[in-house]
Amino acid sequence: MLETVRGPRQLIIGEGVAQNIPRVVSELGSRVLIVTDQVLLRQPGVAGIVAAVREKVQAVEVFSDATPDVPLTDVALAVSAAAEVDADVILAIGGGTVIDLAKIVGVVRCHGGTPRDYYGESKVPGPTTPLVAVPTTSGTGSELTPVSVLTDPGRELKVGVSSVHLVPDFAIVDPELTYSCPATVTAHSGIDAFCHAVESYTARPRPHGPRDPVEQVFLGRNAITDHYALQAAERIARSLRRAVKDGGDTEARADMSYGSMLAGLAFSHAGNGAPHALQYPIGAATHTPHGLGVGLLLPYALEAARDAVGDRLAILARVCGLDVTGASDAEAADVFLAWLDELLADIGIPATLADIGVSRADLPRFAEMAGGVTRLIQNHPGPTDPAGLTALLEAAWAGDRTRLVLTRARQ
């Protein structure tokens, strides 16, 4: 056995735990950069946290201009804001964009250079500025993960900085901060969390050498990640529709916060697979939300990998509360994929790549680009050659999973 488990120094989750933020921040430092966005800063809950932190520490600078997908221009501005206050601790309050931005700011502030110096895996040379991450959505799991995803205008796809040093020091997950999250954001972030759980559970297991847990970030699934992933899938499956339909459903919001957190712990080790790798070029080309893209692609990726993970899809069917009594694994997998199609439709995820403006002519190029995102695509249990990924995209473009059934039958 050779595994590793990654996570914050302390994870605090539950209704009302946001009241601990000022104390936690002040124990880490006295000069604080708060990273958030303009919409959140106007919300009473977030404004109250900012005011309480100001009372507890020596100096505070607020960078509230975070924009979607972490463009490099935002990184430069936020690094300058950190320098203005000589920040010795960073507090991120927001969704994945905000937390990913705070992570890379801590890297550049401690180690210099630009984000481009750290693209890829394990390029960050050591610990970064202490970070307290407070999510206001239930989806990305960024408050727990070793990844920061950025948008580089010089590249055709999003890029990632992956390092164990990016895991926040403290994660404070308060479902109450998600109550005001709009339905569309709830849907996109929630299905992203479900993808994290399912991709982790179906990730390719890989043998390890003694140096791998230090030199690599994503290592494939193991028994620990399976536990986290299944717990996450169960909670999200029973509550995502409810949270989208009624943002005031506090029980559903709690489930989503807990499920997102568990899924983040799962993929911090197991890694994501084809839906995330393929969304990088597709999201960059179409400027569509990350969660929308990975959610759209998930059923096609699972169908493409079904020969390898059919038994796991059957287990997911049972965990998600579907009636598969007496069914074979193949039948239960069918039920799960049909249910997933219905879930996506119910929360407003488009059924095809054509629906989001993808040109069919671009599919081979997107497949080639995604195949180069090694840290993700190596986890996919199905075909990862250009032809296999193009077939997956062709099915997603047409909205026809049966194409992949026929492809597998010919192999």
Q: What is the pTM of this model?
A: 0.95
Residue segments in the chain with a per-residue pLDDT below the cut of 50: none
Amino acid at 354: A
Give pLDDT, residue 409.
61
Among 385, 392, 291, CA closest to 344: 291
At 270-311, the pLDDT tens digits run 999 999 999 999 998 999 999 999 999 999 999 999 999 999
Give pLDDT, residue 80.
97
How many C-beta neighbours within 10 Å does residue 80 have?
Answer: 12
Give pLDDT, residue 406.
66
312: tokens are: 């796991």
Rounded distance, CA 304 to CA 256, Å? 28
Rounded distance, CA 399 to CA 179, Å? 33
Rounded distance, CA 97 to CA 101, Å? 6
Give pLDDT, residue 410.
62
Give pLDDT, residue 411.
59
Give pLDDT, residue 5.
83
Among 73, 140, 143, CA closest to 102: 143
Helix (H) or strand (E) holding 283: helix 274-286
Give pLDDT, residue 156.
77
At 100-147, the pLDDT tens digits run 999 999 999 999 999 999 999 999 999 999 999 999 999 999 999 999
Give pLDDT, residue 98.
97
Rounded distance, CA 160 to CA 84, Å? 27
Helix (H) or strand (E) holding 120: strand 120-121
Rounded distance, CA 131 to CA 89, Å? 6
Among 4, 16, 52, CA closest to 222: 4
Give pLDDT, residue 155.
84
Rounded distance, CA 350 to CA 300, Å? 13
Number of H helices and E strands in the chain, helices first, is: 17, 9
Tell me the pairing of strands 159-162 and 147-150: antiparallel
Give pLDDT, residue 311.
97
